[in-house]
Amino acid sequence: MTRSSDRSSNGTREVMVEVDRLTRYYGPVPAINDVSFRAYRGEIVGFLGPNGAGKTTTMRMLTGYLPPSSGTARIAGHDIVSDSMAARRVIGYLPESTPLYTDMTVFAYLRFMARLRHVPDAAEAAERVMRRVSIDHRADDLIGQLSKGLKQRVGIAQALVHDPALIILDEPTIGLDPRQILEVRGLIRELRGDHTIILSTHILPEAQQVCDRVLIINRGRIVAEDETQNLTARLQGGPRIRVAVPADLDAATVSAALSAVAGVDTVAAAGDGVYAVTAVAGANPSPDLAETVVGRGWPLMELTPVSATLEDIFLELTAEEPAPIGDDTADDTTDMEEEHA
Amino acid sequence: MRNAWVIAQREIASYFAAPMFWILAGGFMAFSGFLFWLYINQPTPPQADMLPLLQVYGTILLFITPLLAMRLLAEEQRAGRLEVLMTAPINDWQLVFGKWLAAFVMFTVLIVLTLFHVGIMHRLAEKGVAPGPTFAAYVGLILLGAALLAIGVLTSSMTESQVVAGFLGIMVIMVLFFLSIVKQMPFGESGLGAAVAYLGLSDHYYKFGQGVVDTRDIVYFLSLTFGSLFLATRMLETRRWR
């Protein structure tokens, strides 16, 4: 929430990640096709998309694991192709499977990762990062003995141990139980501000809760990019209202009555006396709807405005035939980039 | 070098923590100790000559080194940790060399332990053990181990399965070891036959066992070591293009 005001008041925020027409082919098929975006210092950016959309491929290119087929990216000014080592130094990365050395203790593993990352005092850095992710009470336990949630914290700790400018987390909550998911999301939110974070997820509420900005990726392309709350607002169209009356009333009669109200665009009977009303953009037919229902002598059980969730947007954008929406958003993306520039 | 040493250090700690090394070390010590006991208890009293024995130790290494090295890269691939290592600010060569270095250190520990046998022999024999040829035989053992471990690292880079890496390693080493036999075949005297035979491990190794340190043999083993490690590095690199 404070993020967006930051952004509007300060247009010159430091660019941490600048992705420039990144493309990667597996054989003849592009897994990622001409992707460009930016991430700013202190921002949490979410990659949202169905499985196989190209999220992991993009992350692997940013971290220097896979070379791009064409295009490039700069991390804190270091080019990932021509200056890979310098770029890798400022990145912390947790792959999706959370690969750890199960035969090492938490402390020994984090000290090893700190050494690998050229941290001057590796033991001290390991201690510090263990406190930061609240795993210090298990410092001397073997990683193999930890629960999945604690392993995930160790995985995040190794991505943090060298205090990187950019942290890349691939599906950081996958395979965790609901309580662990909340813990990990909380941890990621705590890191907000100190580091730029790019995370991928296919869980929509997660992107909504954790991220400042969301890039929706489908079939190797960015189909939408905006701040989380704008994205929700943008595709909402006219307001939606949920109206409930007793189920024994004739659906056709009620639909007809509701449709007649000024400002109502469509009415759909959802069964059990529930009707989904879409209003014309800019109109608010709620008072008239209430009056109509009550005027007919029907008991009004419920009248609720419904806001479209990211889920609706997501489904709309990633549907099999996304042609019209895809074109729209492609234009929007270009607009946004011009704003940044 | 510092990066490679960080990798090697972790790996050495891991060797000591896992049963595989202790089983191999125990097996090697028991077997070589048994052979040594047989050797000094021969009906005709033994000469103070370690060389035949050290040659036999060398052949045990043909089986032990692939088992020691098979885990190094295969397990990293299987567990997905290779992705973390290959996105750390170290290059692929440092990673491969560090892994090999760890196995080499463990191997050297095993070889140093056989110095007990030399010590006992030195006490038993009237004139003591001749230091020169014995030293040459040990140089041969160390160089042989270095090359065999590098081949093990190479086969370990090719697969996610430790078992496949181990078997492949033993097979490659067997073929390479007995390649020298080619020269005893009818066409062995031809240029090609001689060239193939030259690539065989055994002749180069046995020369050390005869107390001869020849620069050509040292070059052979070092080439084999670094060539295999270089190929392993390229194998890892191909992962980036798959």
In chain A, the residue whose alpha carbon lies closest to the alpha carbon of B90 is A85
Residue A156 to residue A174: CA distance in whole angstroms: 13
Would the CA dihedral through B204, B210, B216, B221 be positive or negative? positive
The mean pLDDT of B174-196, rounded to a whole number, is 80
pLDDT, tens digit, 9 for 90 and up, residues A206-262: 888 899 999 988 888 988 887 777 766 655 556 778 888 888 888 888 888 888 888
Chain A residues within an 8 Å CB radius of B89: 85-86, 88-89, 116-118
Choose the weakest-confidence range: A1-5, A10-14, A135-139, B57-61: A1-5
* Residue-by-residue DSSP string for A54-75: SHHHHHHHHTTSS--SEEEEEE
pLDDT, tens digit, 9 for 90 and up, residues B201-222: 888 888 888 888 899 999 999 9
Owning domain of residue B89: 2-239
Q: Which residue has the higher pLDDT, B50 or A172?
A: A172
Q: Which residue has the higher pLDDT, A161 or A305?
A: A161
Domain check: are A227 and A317 in the same one? yes
Looking at residue A340, its pLDDT comes to 41
Owning domain of residue A257: 240-306
Partners of A192 in the beta sheet? A195
Domain check: are A302 and A288 in the same one? yes
Res. B185: pLDDT tops 90: no
Question: Do the beta carbons of residue B152 and residue B65 sit within 8 Å?
Answer: yes
Res. A337: pLDDT tops 60: no
Spell out a b/e string for A262-286, using b for 16 or more CB atoms within 10 Å of the CB, else e: ebbbebeeeeebebebbbeeeeebb
Do A64 and B6 count as a contact with CB atoms less than 8 A apart? no
Supply the CATH number for residue A225's domain.
Answer: 3.40.50.300
In chain A, the residue whose alpha carbon lies closest to the alpha carbon of B75 is A101
Looking at residue B211, its pLDDT comes to 81
| CB-based contact, B78 to chain A, within 8 Å | no
Domain check: are A274 and A317 in the same one? no
Supply the CATH number for residue A289's domain.
Answer: 3.30.70.100
Chain B residues within an 8 Å CB radius of A101: 10, 14, 81
Do A104 and B10 count as a contact with CB atoms less than 8 A apart? yes
Domain check: are A21 and A54 in the same one? yes
Asked if the structure places residue A185 within a domain, the reply is yes
Please give the share of chain B, as a percent, with pLDDT higher than 90: 59
In chain B, the residue whose alpha carbon lies closest to the alpha carbon of A122 is B6
Report the domain count for chain B. Answer: 1
Looking at residue A232, its pLDDT comes to 63
| CB-based contact, B3 to chain A, within 8 Å | yes
Query: Could you identify the residue written with the tokens 């959370």?
Result: A98
Q: Which residue has the higher pLDDT, A90 or A266?
A: A90
Q: Calculate how close chain A gets to B12, using CA atoms only, in Å.
A: 12
Domain check: are A190 and A299 in the same one? no
pLDDT, tens digit, 9 for 90 and up, residues A224-235: 887 777 766 655
